[in-house]
Amino acid sequence: MGYRISRNMEASLIDYIKDELASASWNNVNVEKTFAKVYDIDLPTICVRVGDTTHEQAEVGSNSTVRAPFILIDIFAKDDGGRLDLKDFLVSILKHGCPYYDYTVVNGSIQSKVQNGRIRVTNIDDTGVDLGVDKSNLDVHDRYRHLLTLTTSLGRMET
């Protein structure tokens, strides 16, 4: 059994970010996909989620659609400098898009992955998260946060 498209996208993005972090010598940065889990692990952490997805009709008279998933990437940093560096690094790697993989899962764990196109990033929004509360009153995870929102496309029609 394999993941469907949304989970494939999440997993592909997580793999890509992990690989790029490793090759750029960013050490001990966690990449997670569950928001609540972030609070149980060390900083810095990146949380990747697929948000709303639109399926627009590709052409008149056809049921084919074009998927446009909205990706939310939360950055939880140790300090303000780290937050800015990490978000700039992510923007620099994500603007080129990344490989999209089809994952095969056996008994809950990933058995294999095969590249099946690319995730194209058509827009990136870059927002600092200020919860409006004195940082000393916040959990360490909420002190230095940033949010990247990506508009993406797989560049193909789904029949």
Partner 1 sequence: MYIAKLKTIHGFAKMRTYFKLLDTQARTETKALGNQTPAKMKSIIRSNKVRPQEGQQSKLENAIDVEHFERVTEVGWGVGNISRLNSEAPHWKAINYGSSHMVGKNMPPLFTPGLTRPDSSKFREGRVNYGGRKGTGGGVPVTKPIPPMNYIQKTINFVNRQLNIIQTKLRRR
DSSP 48-110: EEEEEEEEEE-STT---EEEEEEEEEEEEESSHHHHHHHHHHHHHHHTT-EEEEEEEEETTEE
Closest to partner 1 by CB, 116 vs 149, is 149
Instruction: Select from 63, 81, 67, 64 the least CA-distant residue to 128.
Output: 81
The count of chain residues that interact with partner 1, using the rule CB under 8 A, is 27
**Segment lying near partner 1 (by CB under 8 A), choices 17-25, 47-55, 88-96, 110-118:** 47-55
Q: Choose, by CB under 8 A, the member of 131, 135, 157, 158 that binds partner 1.
A: 131
Q: Choose, by CB under 8 A, the member of 1, 22, 106, 138 that binds partner 1.
A: 138
134 binds partner 1 (CB under 8 A): no
How near is the Cβ of 114 to partner 1 at its closest, in Å?
30
Neighbouring-strand partners of residue 148: 73, 126
How near is the Cβ of 129 to partner 1 at its closest, in Å?
5
112 binds partner 1 (CB under 8 A): no
